[in-house]
A = this chain, B = another copy of it.
Amino acid sequence: MRWFEDFREGEVTGVGPVTVSEDDILSFAQQFDPQPFHVDAEAARESPFGGLIASGWHTAALYMGMFVREVLLDSASLGSPGIEELRWTAPVRPGDTLRGRSRVLEARPSEKNPKRGTVYSEHEVLNQDDVMVMRFRSYGHFARRPTST
């Protein structure tokens, strides 16, 4: 179980992989992002992307799935207040295999709440060719390790 104190600045953690199918791409996009280049293979071929690509929000959700299962579920995570500078840097296509890595940039105890701290991290998502498809920085709140008295 990782508490706030267990996240150390500079620490790098890898997660994944996960492979995304055409059905996955269509299913997410039909619900949440039905732009033609996400839901219609023929229209996508005529688009600047030259074929079907995943919604950027789907890529974010796929990374989150890996990060939660491999990192946060074994931690005292208390949720996130937000994200800085998210960039979708290359298309994600059917059959792509994604993995991610995160690096702790800063770990800062809360000034308001002595039981909590904030971990500021950068995250990168790469495909099977080591091309970065997404990056962002996140804040995460974590409970501090209880002190025994």
- A residues near B, CB below 8 A? 28, 31-35, 37, 47-49, 55-57, 60-62, 64-65, 68-69, 72-73, 77-89, 136
CB atoms of A81 and B72 under 8 A apart: no
CB atoms of B82 and A88 under 8 A apart: yes
Q: Can you name 11 A-B residue pairings with CB atoms under 8 Å? A: A31-B61, A32-B64, A32-B65, A32-B68, A34-B68, A35-B68, A57-B57, A57-B60, A81-B87, A82-B87, A84-B85
A65: B residues at CB distance < 8 A: 31-34
A31: B residues at CB distance < 8 A: 61, 65
A149 to B65, CA, bound (A): 51
